[in-house]
A and B are shown apart, each in its own frame.
Chain A
Amino acid sequence: GAVVSQHPSRVICKSGTSVKIECRSLDFQATTMFWYRQFPKQSLMLMATSNEGSKATYEQGVEKDKFLINHASLTLSTLTVTSAHPEDSSFYICSARQNYGYTFGSGTRLTVV
């Protein structure tokens, strides 16, 4: 079936630095990619929706300047957490729409120290 490859799976970074998370659709074209954030023991909250070749649409309360999303090709979408702080530590996961539903990446656990 369709696979979305997400990496890194885990990353630890220092406060104030930026981190880039990549999601690649394998064997299919992902015109739309969804980015979610999940705090421990909580549900997935949609952060933004990216469409290939256009600006991302951010959910209310999500800082677009802090969470930069780029969807430059039909197989690659990236999320960059800029000037990361400890409160940005979370599990980030991407998702691409498929015929049967949605395929999710394996997630990235970000820890900011």
Chain B
Amino acid sequence: AQKVTQAQTEISVVEKEDVTLDCVYETRDTTYYLFWYKQPPSGELVFLIRRNSFDEQNEISGRYSWNFQKSTSSFNFTITASQVVDSAVYFCALSDLYSGGYQKVTFGTGTKLQVIP
């Protein structure tokens, strides 16, 4: 069975500070995907990134960066120079491959980020 742990339930930072959201996962599968989603107060889930288990390259997209370390089963997310609009709940997720051919996504419990102006 797969499991995603986001140990930080809530984080508060002052605007322009950098912040890292931690994600640790467990899976017995050798092929899997990792995701990060943002859920603003309005409720919709916004896709941020997908990472294949074979690709350990770190990725940067604007102020966002992701650090994937298979050795520690971690997929951490860093926001540089945080802004008030970054305030949201962030979910890390994992998908394995079911024998039926479709993938089930397991979500972490989420980290609520509050950026204070």
Contacts and interface: CB of A to CB of B under 8 A. Distances in A.
B91 A43 contact: yes
Contacts of B44: 104-107
Interface residues of A, number: 23
A31 B105 CA distance: 16
A81 B117 CA distance: 41
Contact of B47 (A44, A97, A103, A105): A103
Interface residues of B, number: 21
A34 B91 contact: no
Interface in B100-114: 102-110, 112
Contacts of A44: 45, 91, 107
Most chain-A Cβ atoms within 10 A of its Cβ — which of B42, B43, B107? B43
A101 B35 contact: yes
Contact of B105 (A41, A91, A95, A107): A95
A46 B104 contact: yes
B50 A109 contact: no
Contacts of B107: 43-45
A100 B50 contact: yes
B33 interface: yes
A93 interface: yes
B91 A107 contact: no
A28 interface: no
A95 B39 CA distance: 14
Nearest to A31: B102
A75 interface: no
A81 to B, nearest CB: 17
Contacts of B50: 100-101
A43 B45 contact: no
Contacts of A34: 104-105
Nearest to B46: A104
Given A102-B47, A106-B44, 13 more contacts: A32-B102, A34-B105, A43-B107, A51-B102, A91-B43, A93-B43, A93-B45, A97-B102, A101-B33, A101-B35, A104-B44, A104-B47, A109-B43
30 contacts: A32-B102, A34-B104, A34-B105, A42-B110, A43-B91, A43-B107, A43-B108, A43-B109, A43-B110, A44-B45, A45-B107, A46-B104, A49-B102, A91-B43, A93-B43, A93-B45, A95-B45, A95-B105, A100-B47, A101-B35, A101-B47, A102-B105, A103-B47, A104-B45, A104-B47, A106-B43, A106-B44, A107-B43, A107-B44, A109-B43
